[in-house]
Each structure stands twice: as structure tokens, then as C-alpha cells.
Amino acid sequence: MANLLNAQKTIRVAILFLLFTVLSASLNIYSEIQQGITLEGNRLHSAHALLITDSSDQVLSSLTTENVNARVYRSLSPDGRIRAILELGNNSTFLPIHDGRQFSANDVQAAMVGSDVPVQTVEGESFYEYQGTQYLVVATLGFGERSLLSEDVLIRDRALFSPGVLETVVVDGAEAESQIMREFGEDAYAQLASATGRRTNIDYVSPILLGFGWSLVSLGCVIAALLMARYTRPLDTVRHQLGHTRWWILRSDLFKVTTISLVSSAPASILVLMMARAPETAGVAIAAILAQAILIVVLSGIVISYRIWSQR
């Protein structure tokens, strides 16, 4: 009867933790999709995008010196559909793609193209040609084939930013916005126009939803940890009376808590792998789920340790 009761308590805690890990996974997926839709609908620009006319090497030098996280765009066609791009710093905002991968630091000459952009296939790899140079296509832009970016091209090639030539570039990123204002002054740039729908959803509603959701996740972790510590108390009392050492009891409890946390994290991790649009986002979401599991183990360990060493 006692074993059945302990099993029921364990299942309750596992279900509670499962619910909050699924909530955590859902918040990560929601954030990724919402940011991706916003970028897709606004030509890959965020609310921090600035239009600046100056020597591109001077702009890049300013951002690189301060190790600023930013994206820099330069239009290569009259309609702005073909653009050069450079990613500086550790940019954590992923571009919306539905096939392929994000740009990496090792990509010297690479491209992302929309689904309607013609490419050449050589030995199973796709290439986009611009001014006689072949660029390896690493991804297809947009969250689907019929996206707003189906005719766009992004080329990662620093040589496309002309040194010493006065040209117009777009600098995007919260840190970059502050740096440009500080370095070039308010008269040197212009704020890009932003859509009303994006400002309503991203700037106001989404931060509230995400903040509330993450608050619930944090509270859930604390509750799950306290319940785990509470449910192990009767058995720990018996073990203590039977002469088991405090360290042995603690190790046994931590093993149980760790097992429950990891097993409960598995369904949420599978959900992330199935729903995440980008592998990088999936990695971040799974890391957050594992961090929850570790947090619960640590909090439970602290409470259990205090209780065990308080016993006479």
C-alpha cells in the first residue's frame, strides 16, 4: 500500500513537471515563430533597423570594434530584392527559413534564396550566381514556399561592401542602434518605417505573454521541487531510523529526482524537435528544458539536504 502511494505521488510530480516543460517548449516555439513572421513581413528588419548613408567600412569598423551584435544589409538591386548581408557579434535572432540552415561564421561566400529564385544545381548542391560569382545556397528563405520572401536573395560576402565608397546600408540590432546613435549622431541615420501589426504583436503583446509564461514556468519548477522534497520525507525518515547515513539517503533521493526530471523532460524535447523551424532554435529550447530539470534537482537537493541534516 505504501509503495502504491509513493508511486502515485511520484506520478503526480512527474505530470506537473511535464506540464511545465511542455509550456516552456511552447513558449520557445511561439517566440521563434512570432519573431520569424515579423521578420518575414518586414523585409527581415526588426524594430531597431536604421538606414545610414556612409562608408560601409567605417560603419562595419565601428560595430566590430565595440563587438556589437548586429546585421548589416546592402541593397544590390534596384528593387532591393537582392541584398548583401553581414552578421556581426553573436547574433541570436535567426532568419526565417524552411529548408537548410542559418549562416555560420565559416560561410565566406554563401547565399539564402527564396523558393522562386532560380539556382544552379551542381553535384547535389545549389548555387546562386551574382556578377559571375557562384554562391553556395545554404537555405531557402521564408516559413514556406509561398512566403513574402520567395523572390528575395541574401548574399553573405564581405567583398560586396565597398570600402571607402559612400553608400546606403541598413544596420539592424538593439545594440547596433545605440552604437550608431553614439558614433555617427542623430542626423546620420533614419529609422525604417515599421508596420502597425508588428508593433502591436511584438512590441507590446508578445513580451507580456512571454513574461507571464516564463513566470509560470519558474513558479512551476519551485512547486515541483518542493513537492519532490516533501514526498521523499516519509521514506527518508524510515531510512534514517534503519541506520542509513545521511549522504546515502541524499544520493538516493537525488537519483530519484534526477530520473523523474529527465524522463518528464523527454516529451517536451520531442515536441521541440518536431515543431521548431530551425535547429538552432530547437537547441536553445532543449537547453532551456534541461535547465529546468537541473533547477528542480538543485532546489530539491537543497530542501532535502536541510531536512536530512536537521533530523536527530
| 8 Å CB contact between 277 and 200 | no
Residue type, 94: F
Interatomic CA distance for residues 257 and 244, integer angstroms: 19
Interatomic CA distance for residues 22 and 15, integer angstroms: 10
Nearest to 145 by CA among 115, 104, 168: 115
List of E strands, the chain? 50-55, 70-75, 82-88, 97-100, 110-113, 120-122, 125-130, 133-141, 153-156, 166-172, 189-191
Rounded (10°) angle between helices 2-41 and 279-310: 150
Find where cell 545610414 sits.
Answer: 52
Query: Residue 69, SS3?
Result: coil
Long-range contacts, 8-14 (Cβ 8 Å, 24+): 9/227, 9/231, 10/231, 10/256, 10/260, 12/227, 13/224, 13/227, 13/228, 13/231, 13/260, 14/260, 14/263, 14/264
Query: Residue 95, SS3?
Result: coil
pLDDT string in tens for the chain (312-residue length)? 445 446 777 788 888 888 888 888 888 888 877 878 888 888 888 878 888 877 777 777 777 766 778 888 988 888 889 999 988 877 656 788 888 888 887 888 899 999 899 999 888 899 999 998 999 999 889 887 788 888 999 999 988 887 767 788 888 877 777 777 777 766 666 777 554 445 545 556 777 888 888 888 888 888 888 888 888 888 888 887 888 888 888 888 888 888 888 888 888 888 777 776 666 667 777 888 888 888 888 888 888 888 888 866
Nearest to 35 by CA among 203, 270, 275, 190: 203
Q: Kindly report the pTM of this predicted structure.
A: 0.70
Domain boundaries, the chain: 2-37+199-310, 43-193
| 8 Å CB contact between 171 and 72 | yes
Interatomic CA distance for residues 104 and 110, integer angstroms: 9
